[in-house]
Amino acid sequence: MDLQEGKDKFIQSWGALGSSWGINRTMAQIHALLLISPVALSAEEIMEELKISRGNANMNIRALIDWGLVFKELKPGERKEYFVGEKDMWEVVKNIITQRKKRELEPMLKVLDEISSVEEVDAESKEFVKVIRDIKLFSSKADSTLDSLVKADSNWFVGTFMKMIR
Amino acid sequence: MDLQEGKDKFIQSWGALGSSWGINRTMAQIHALLLISPVALSAEEIMEELKISRGNANMNIRALIDWGLVFKELKPGERKEYFVGEKDMWEVVKNIITQRKKRELEPMLKVLDEISSVEEVDAESKEFVKVIRDIKLFSSKADSTLDSLVKADSNWFVGTFMKMIR
DNA sequence: CAAAATTTTCAATACTTCCTGAAAAATTTA
DNA sequence: TAAATTTTTCAGGAAGTATTGAAAATTTTG
């Protein structure tokens, strides 16, 4: 397989993967492109490479910066902004976990909290509150497990955890 | 807060959460409804409760059964099918991990494998292959970690892991 | 400060995914 | 086997998301 074919395949697959994870295709493709690019790329170059409009490129680059997956790089003497991708996969995963935890898990915990104040007047409402408390307990555990995971370092992940769990 | 309000809020939030996880809103709502329902429900009842069409209900119930999150229940002497939700959150999470691993992570591993056969003729292609191999290594580790996680039992998750990691 | 370069915004539109409802298929009953 | 009941399918339309492109805003340069 030649380089261009490999690159295209990677960008394409990474984009498809993103789609099933609530990340839009273009955003995932830009991320893929920057992951495999040895040098920082300008918006122009990204537009060119992925055949997308300026607006689209700009929006998704901002979003990636927001997620901590891409960084601006200013070249001395150059007016354009350049962008580099976070290459350390463990960092990538940690950032995604952190963001999604904040955006999704935490709001859900809040809702579960509110909901468990339903008055337990009859069998049905008692059962409801029980189920909700169960889910809340589980979610809180997931939440703090993810916290610890994010604090742990990459070596821990690739080493100890694997051995321990087997 | 009263029961109906609590139920509605839960179904609504669970639906929203699903959307950001590549699971469509209705599917997540049906799952939520069955999670908090103490009894099995028929398609009719689900349609009624969520105000959705028969077709929509049917499709999404099938999908949930496919994911192992909902089961058919046949009541003796009744012609209709009834459905119950998997109530054990650990089972729910395990099924989701298993399915998504199979549908997304494993195909990605396959692609990474193919791609790492790019000929390393120059600096650029060497760098590309290096990055891809890195990602592949990481993904394989994630894959087997998830395998172990799914094999482990719920107690392990709620107990040991939490202590160890802190 | 004005001109040039670059980035950002956003209304219009293209694209994708989801949902409906009615017809077809399947299953059960008598 | 025919009628009744229930489930499944799927074309067409609705709703939701993503993308474009051009204008506005911002930044840099001389």
A62 touches strand C (CB under 7 A): yes
Quickly give B34 CA vs C24 C1' distance in Å: 29
**Sign of torsion over alpha carbons B133, B139, B143, B148:** positive
Q: Is the pLDDT of residue B159 over 60?
A: no
Quote the pLDDT of residue B158.
Answer: 55
Do the Cβ atoms of B57 and B43 come closer than 8 Å? Answer: yes
Quickly give B98 CA vs C15 C1' distance in Å: 31
**Model pLDDT for residues A105-126, shown as the tens digit of each residue:** 999 999 999 999 999 999 889 9
Best mutation target among B37, B89, B113 (most A Cβ atoms within 10 Å) is B89
Closest to B114 (Cα-Cα) out of A31, A2, A85: A2
Number of A/B CB contacts below 8 angstroms equals: 138
Integer Cα distance of A20 and B106 in angstroms: 14
**A39 in contact with chain B, both atoms CB, cutoff 8 A:** no
Provide mean pLDDT across the span A88-109: 94
- Residue numbers in A near B121 (CB within 8 A): 3
Provide mean pLDDT across the span A91-97: 94
**Model pLDDT for residues B36-82, shown as the tens digit of each residue:** 999 999 999 999 999 999 999 999 999 999 999 999 999 998 999 99
Do the Cβ atoms of B141 and A162 come closer than 8 Å? Answer: yes
Quickly give B3 CA vs C15 C1' distance in Å: 41
- Local structure of B39: helix, strand or coil: coil
CB-based burial label for B134 (10 Å; 0-12, 13-18, 19+): middle
**A160 in contact with chain B, both atoms CB, cutoff 8 A:** no
* Contact flag B38-A103 (C-beta cutoff 8 Å): no
Best mutation target among A69, A115, A151 (most B Cβ atoms within 10 Å) is A115
Q: For residue A77, what is the DSSP state? A: T
**B39 in contact with chain A, both atoms CB, cutoff 8 A:** no
**Model pLDDT for residues A35-54, shown as the tens digit of each residue:** 999 999 999 999 999 999 99
- N-term to C-term CA, chain A: 36
Integer Cα distance of B67 and B92 in angstroms: 9
Do the Cβ atoms of B50 and B29 come closer than 8 Å? Answer: yes
